[in-house]
């Protein structure tokens, strides 16, 4: 296993990070089996485990069980933002919610501190100064060691650093964006901005939500009622015109992986960690077999010729699908943010 420094924190993290989104009711409901998967990953040299409060409502509990007796050797990362129950103030990035929810995460994880506390998505109802202020206070209180953001647009990452400097607050040390061969949009601005500010980058979904697992191929029927396709069927339905390019790219990538002498998942993960801005790729196995298959390629390094071939199949900066289905910018979803009041339009 290879290791890199996480941004400017001085914390050494493995190039593969264990993601635990599939632990619990959404993926693997067997807590004991999930604990075995965590232990196997740690035994193979992975030293960073990533979870979130909202993952099945169980993932943090499972991770806490798995880390008993091994906590000091693990870089533990979790997240806050998405709603955790009913009510208008049980989610978001406010001081009120973060102060409350960090205590809940600590309780579920069975630990006194969190190494990396990440804001899961932007919250345009909360001033970024408010969020950075409470996170800075949590560092001083010893409850978290560092904090970062996840799936933030480049302009909001840059704004957060400007605010932190002006207000003398702690700054986001990391960003956790979606990144895969099929979703390269962050190469345009997010990754360069992270490099500019010396941020660590932990990329999620290097297998494109399972599309690069090798299970979904041109001409094969896809069961949209189970597994990943059941969560986002529109991404996997071969009958939809928007998926034609993805299936075609997968066929070319399978052929390329055969030439390299690796599996498609190994090729996909190795691609993400080849980018100079990326610190670690999050792999999210549901089973022990999936973990073992992904770790077989942990030492794989792609040469320039292979990366050039990938660029030909999916050009740099190109998204063949929208990688973040859990959040959309309010300026796109709220029509009132895109339209002048009718009276103003009529008078123009």
Catalytic center residues: 55
Nearest to residue 269, comparing CAs of 15, 40, 70? 15
* Region for 220 from its dihedrals, namely left if φ exceeds 0, alpha if ψ lies in -120 to 50, beta otherwise: beta
The secondary structure of 152-209, three-state, reads CCHHHHHHHHHHHHHHCCCCCCEEECECECCECHHHCCHHHHHHHCCCEEEEECCCCC
How far apart CA 136 and CA 98 sit, in angstroms, is 12
**Under 8 Å between Cβ of 92 and 123:** yes
Strands 174-176 and 200-203, by their bridges, are parallel
- Rounded to 5 degrees, φ, ψ at 25 are -60, -30
CA 214 vs CA 210, 218, 220, 255, 257: distances in Å: 8, 11, 11, 11, 11
Q: CB-side exposure of 52: number of CA atoms within 13 Å?
A: 23
> Which residue(s) pair with 45 in the sheet?
none
**Under 8 Å between Cβ of 85 and 111:** no
CA 327 vs CA 59, 264, 330: distances in Å: 21, 28, 9
* Region for 157 from its dihedrals, namely left if φ exceeds 0, alpha if ψ lies in -120 to 50, beta otherwise: alpha
Q: CB-side exposure of 334: number of CA atoms within 13 Å?
A: 8
């Amino acid at each position: 296993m290879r290791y890199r420094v996480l941004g400017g924190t001085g914390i050494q993290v493995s190039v593969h990070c264990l993601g635990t989104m599939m632990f619990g009711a959404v993926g693997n409901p067997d807590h004991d089996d999930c604990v075995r998967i965590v232990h196997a990953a740690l035994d193979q040299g992975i030293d960073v485990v990533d979870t979130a409060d909202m993952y099945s409502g169980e993932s943090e509990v499972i991770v806490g069980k798995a880390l008993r007796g091994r906590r000091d050797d693990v870089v533990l990362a979790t997240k806050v933002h998405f709603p955790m129950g009913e009510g208008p103030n049980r989610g978001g990035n406010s001081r009120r919610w973060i102060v409350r929810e960090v205590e809940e995460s600590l309780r579920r994880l069975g630990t006194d501190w969190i190494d990396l506390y990440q804001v899961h998505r932007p919250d345009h109802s909360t001033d970024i100064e408010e969020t950075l202020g409470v996170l800075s206070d949590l560092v001083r209180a010893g409850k978290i060691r560092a904090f970062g953001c996840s799936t933030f647009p480049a302009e909001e990452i840059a704004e957060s650093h400007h605010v932190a400097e002006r207000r003398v607050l702690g700054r986001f040390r990391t960003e956790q964006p979606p990144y895969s061969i099929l979703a390269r949009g962050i190469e345009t601005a997010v990754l360069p901005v992270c490099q500019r500010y010396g941020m660590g980058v932990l990329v999620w979904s290097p297998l494109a939500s399972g599309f690069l697992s090798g299970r979904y191929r041109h001409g094969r029927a896809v069961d949209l009622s189970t597994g990943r396709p059941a969560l986002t069927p529109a991404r996997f339905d071969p009958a939809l015109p928007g998926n034609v390019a993805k299936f075609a790219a997968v066929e070319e990538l399978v052929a390329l992986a055969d030439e390299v002498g690796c599996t498609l998942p190994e090729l996909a993960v190795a691609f993400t960690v080849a980018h100079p801005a990326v610190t670690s790729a999050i792999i999210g196995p549901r089973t022990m077999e999936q973990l073992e298959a992904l770790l077989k390629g942990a030492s794989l390094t792609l040469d320039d010729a292979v990366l050039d071939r990938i660029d030909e199949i999916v050009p740099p900066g190109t998204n063949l699908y929208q990688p973040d289905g859990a959040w959309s910018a309010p300026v796109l979803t709220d029509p009132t943010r895109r339209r002048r009041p009718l009276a103003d339009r009529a008078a123009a």
